[in-house]
Amino acid sequence: MADVAEKAGVSRALVSIVFRNQPGAGQETRDRVLRVAEEIGYRPDNAARLLARGRSRTLGVLFTVHQPFQADLVEGIYPEAERRGYEVLLSATAPGRDEAQAVEALLAHRCEAVILLGPLAEQAQLEALGARTVAVTVGRRVRDARLDSVFTAENKGVREAMDHLVALGHRRITHVDGGRDPGSAERRRAYRAAMRRHDLQDTARVIPGSHTEDAGIEAGRLLLAEREQGTPLPSAIFASNDRCAMGLLMAFARAGVDVPGEVSVVGYDDSHLSHLMPVALTTVRQDAVLMAEEAVRFAVERLEDETLDIREAVIDPKLVVRDTSGKPAA
């Protein structure tokens, strides 16, 4: 501001008046100050201004780089935060950088609240974080901790997927689960419940996996190896998320297995990649935009009123039928 004042031939106080759009400067002076600011590349430091008032008005977001659905959530967070007058700062987990480090980086940059996308931290760690700052989890329900949560009605989503497969005529439906990843335990339980409800518990099978393409590829290779030993492929597979489903599709494509002619595949998330595959994926849609908006709302409202009760937003999923599910082979 001092540089602008010197070049414009006015006082620093007058420059401040112009930048704050306050009365006290004529139009000619305003125009000259703004022109000089543009010429020398000056931009007001909003972060410093807010910190001087004791606020950063910044929401920190913890995410995982290689999860497409979390990228969809981030895209939804930005416009809602901006609408509410907040900036967004991202911090990613990576090899050698765990969630605790990523969160500490957000807090070190004076984020007023943190939004955790699919956190894997232990319950005690999340409870400790909730005691330190305003925090919201997305994609994971956290009980008995001072954190608000936004998540999908997993049971309903899995039920729709399983009902769809059974209605097509499938009876041998295998589930490749997500291991310890967020939502996996709920989806695993819902799969088993659906198999019992359809009186198919005798053919139920859960293959341990994770929310990655590699897990899907490994599950596909296992099933193909079993076929070589005389065990037929399941007629349908419900994968714990879209990335895992895509791994299955890759493994089957390399082996010449027709999807859905020989085996149907259903995913979960409806991430932006799910309809870009050569064979568009049947999947359960989680409403990323609505989940993002609810997470931002929870964070901002708690910043304004810390006495609010702990809240949960349960978002309804929706089955999206595309090309990877069909009737079983005769």
pLDDT at position 15 is 83
Read off the pLDDT of residues 240-297 as tens digits, 9 standing for 90 and up: 999 999 999 999 999 999 999 999 999 999 998 787 777 899 999 999 999 999 999 9
How far CA 154 is from CA of 131, 139, 158, in Å, comes to 28, 10, 6
pLDDT at position 47 is 54
pLDDT at position 272 is 84
**Between 122 and 51, the higher pLDDT residue:** 122
Q: What CA–CA distance (Å, rounded) separates 97 from 66?
A: 14
Give 132's pLDDT tier (boundaries 50, 70, 90): very high
In 253-323, where do the E strands start and end?
264-269, 282-285, 312-315, 318-320
Length of the chain: 330
pLDDT at position 99 is 96
Q: What CA–CA distance (Å, rounded) separates 281 from 262?
A: 15
Q: What CA–CA distance (Å, rounded) separates 301 from 309?
A: 11
Other Cβ atoms within 10 Å of 149 Cβ, number: 23
Give 48's pLDDT tier (boundaries 50, 70, 90): low
Range scoring the smallest mean pLDDT among 55-59, 74-78, 287-291, 310-314: 55-59
- Is the previous residue joined to 278 through a cis bond, with omega within 30 degrees of 0? no
> Which DSSP helix (H) or strand (E) runs through 88?
strand 87-93
Read off the pLDDT of residues 184-212 as tens digits, 9 standing for 90 and up: 999 999 999 999 999 999 999 999 999 99
Instruction: Quote the mean pLDDT of the chain.
Output: 93
Does the pTM surpass 0.75? The reply is yes
| Torsion of the alpha carbons at 142, 145, 146 and 150, rounded to the nearest 10 | 10
Closest CA to 260 of 240, 276, 245: 245
| Torsion of the alpha carbons at 207, 242, 156 and 313, rounded to the nearest 10 | 120
Asked whether the predicted pLDDT for residue 157 surpasses 60, the reply is yes
